[in-house]
Structure 1
């Protein structure tokens, strides 16, 4: 059964649900999200009863906002406990300690941030919410001065993001401090099948502007990225799935691969693929593979066939986060057309109400491998050239939320 919730459900997901009669749990929020006429809704009590009848029910959520409903209504399935193993980064590190016994991490409560002994921390390190989402509250620290600045920034971010997501998704009461993992970062959509074996449905390299960049601006996928990492990532996910004991369980994993080839998990997000319907939707755009259907029909991708004819092409997700330093209340409009003109082959633009969320939208692109410069440019842009300030009409240029280009 399928759960949909805020902040976003894509047209591709809506079409997938309708055309394949996938059952959607009819929560109050789900019924308000504009799903297509004819979508197969499942009453909440019926969903609970079906879960009771299935040994390990097939569940998928477009948003972690659904975790609260699952915890309240489906505790008898054992799934909420599995979700907590992954969603809580401290519990996840404890679970994977046997594979990485030397890895440093510790919990720091929000009220203790100002009194932590900096000399006791492994510089450089990462600090982030123990339960988090979308790189919110994530900072890399390499000096005492940067630690002071990070603590101040965290307090400001807490005030700015309060109320955007429920506590099951973003909880700023506790943080995890952990050592930095050197190497290239990747995002992986996958599911564990009925036997607990991992099935990889997409691999994206998370590209950064610098060693201090922790933003989600650009993710790329390509034939080479998938071929070079599929075996190693599947092996690590298999180890994690075995110790977690999960079955029929979708995940969005974030991993790093060191120069020596060792694969280390950053985190594994439960019950979903990439947030805001991004990675799974672009996988379909890029390779013709529908990850949602793969999971619900328990299929394994035929990657050699899917990657035919894809050499020399990069497919990217560009997250247009508001890193301009300009508060949304001062932004009159964002010039999406001017932005699109900078790209070789835009595939789809998804506008977001930047007065509600700190992001202008999401852009899917296809780029020739020898034109990576256009992705490097957007990676470093603060987006100020596309912002017009002045008296605001909160929805002035958000008409046409999803625009194929």
Structure 2
């Protein structure tokens, strides 16, 4: 069963829902979707009764915006409690204390951030909303001297993003401070089947422009990534699944692996795969329709899928706006120029930067010989693609001060 919700549903997911005639909750988003073959829409009461009568069910939500509806209407399924385990990062850390007893974290109200005594906290540490989405409001603090500037940036960003998403998705009222997790970072789309077995559908490596970078600019997947990390990920998912007693449950896991090969979860996003339907990269890379695999309880034959594969990398480029750019100052974004800077762009998805703080997403197929195109976009502030309004003097410093007036 599917719940399709704002901010975005890809054409790939729309067509999958229509072709497979998967029951879809009739909400504002779903009712407005136009496909060649009509969606199998169910009114709210019918959708709820269908779940009750089915006994076993598999529900996928395209967006965490639907978490509020699930909490209000599907309490009998046990899903709201499981969702809360993961959406609330403080509860998530408490859940993991059995397997990571020495991991440091603390929760703190946004209004009390001024009272933090950073000299009493081991550094580097990460501070982020206790209920968050993407890397919104996420900062790394390496020294006491950095704290004042970071705090000012948090306040500016909170003011900008407050109200952009429902509080069940992004709540800037409470933050979590936790020790920094060292190592290479990865993201995983996976699900637990009806018997509680974890099934890995894709693994993405998250790369950064610098040691202090915590943004979501570039992820990629490849044969090497899948072969190297799949078994390790499955072992971690088994532990998480046992702790939370997960069955028929899709999720998006983020974790890091240190130089000692120890794996440490960062967070788990429940009821969905990679946000804004970027999980579709698995189809470009491996021919895997992650929605169908979950809803029909299918398992990839990874040995066969990866056999004979080369080292092409399939990249997800997130066109996120840097904090020093005021969305209201932006006149236009040159998508054509962006596409011309990549050897093999696969699909471009545009987004309303004023509403969501990003210009969209780009999928690419990139050979090792062309990797410089990824290194360049990784470090770019995207200003080479942006034209600014002549009358808006709102290019800001990280502390929120006016830097210059665009001409």
- TM-score when normalising by structure 1: 0.94
CA distance in structure 2 between the aligned counterparts of 1:214 and 1:36, rounded to whole angstroms: 41
1:172/1:206 Cα in 2 relative to 1: closer, same or farther (>3 Å)?
same
Aligned match of 2:301: 302
SS at the partner of 1:80? helix
User: Quick check: 1:9–1:33 contact (8 Å CA) kept in 2?
Assistant: no
Unmatched segments (≥5 aa) in structure 1: 393-405
Following the alignment from structure 2 to structure 1, what is the Cα–Cα distance between the partners of residues 234 and 358? 32
The 1:286–1:146 alpha-carbon spacing in structure 2 relative to 1, beyond 3 Å, is: same
Counterpart in 2 of 1:97?
Answer: 97
Structure 1 runs (4+) deviating above 4 angstroms are 33-37
Whole-angstrom CA distance in 2 between matches of 1:324 and 1:48: 42
Would the aligned equivalents of 1:5 and 1:33 in 2 still touch at CA under 8 Å? no
Q: Is the 8 A contact 2:188 2:203 kept in 1?
A: yes
Q: Is the 8 A contact 2:162 2:172 kept in 1?
A: no
User: Which stretch has the larger CA shift, 284-293 or 364-373?
Assistant: 364-373
Are 1:336 and 2:335 counterparts? yes
RMSD between aligned residues: 1.4
Between 1:285-294 and 1:21-30, the stretch displaced more is 21-30
- Size of the aligned set, in residue pairs, is 391
Shift of 1:231: 0.1
User: What SS does the corresponding residue of 1:13 show, helix, strand or coil?
Assistant: helix
Q: Name the counterpart of 2:255.
A: 255
**CA shift at 1:370, angstroms?**
3.2
Where 1:362 maps in the other structure, the secondary structure is strand
Query: Which residue of structure 1 aligns with residue 230 of structure 2?
Result: 230
* C-alpha distance in structure 2 between counterparts of 1:277 and 1:390, whole Å: 31
Deviation at 1:34, TM superposition (A): 4.4
1:283 aligns with 2:278: no
Conserved? CA contact 1:255–1:265, under 8 Å: yes
Q: How does 1:136-175 map to 2 (within 5 A)?
A: 136-175=136-175
Find the counterpart in structure 2 of residue 364 from structure 1: 363
Mapped to 2, the partners of 1:141 and 1:36 lie a distance apart of 50
- Judged with a 3 Å threshold, the aligned counterparts in structure 2 of structure 1 residues 35 and 129 are, in CA distance, closer, same or farther, namely farther
Structure 2 unaligned residues grouped into runs of 5+? 392-407
Question: Is the Cα contact below 8 Å between 1:181 and 1:256 reproduced in 2?
Answer: yes
Question: What aligned pairs does 1:263-278 form with structure 2 within 5 A after superposition?
Answer: 263-278=263-278
CA deviations on 1:38-89 (whole Å, 9 max, x unpaired) are 1111111011112222344211011000000000000111110000001111
Q: Is contact 1:348-1:365 (8 Å) kept?
A: yes
Q: Post-superposition shift, 1:119?
A: 2.0
> Pairwise mapping of residues 76-87 of structure 1 onto structure 2 (< 5 A)?
76-87=76-87
Offset of 1:134 from its aligned partner?
1.1
Contact 2:19 2:37 in 1 (8 A): no
How far apart are the structure 1 equivalents of 2:323 and 2:68?
33
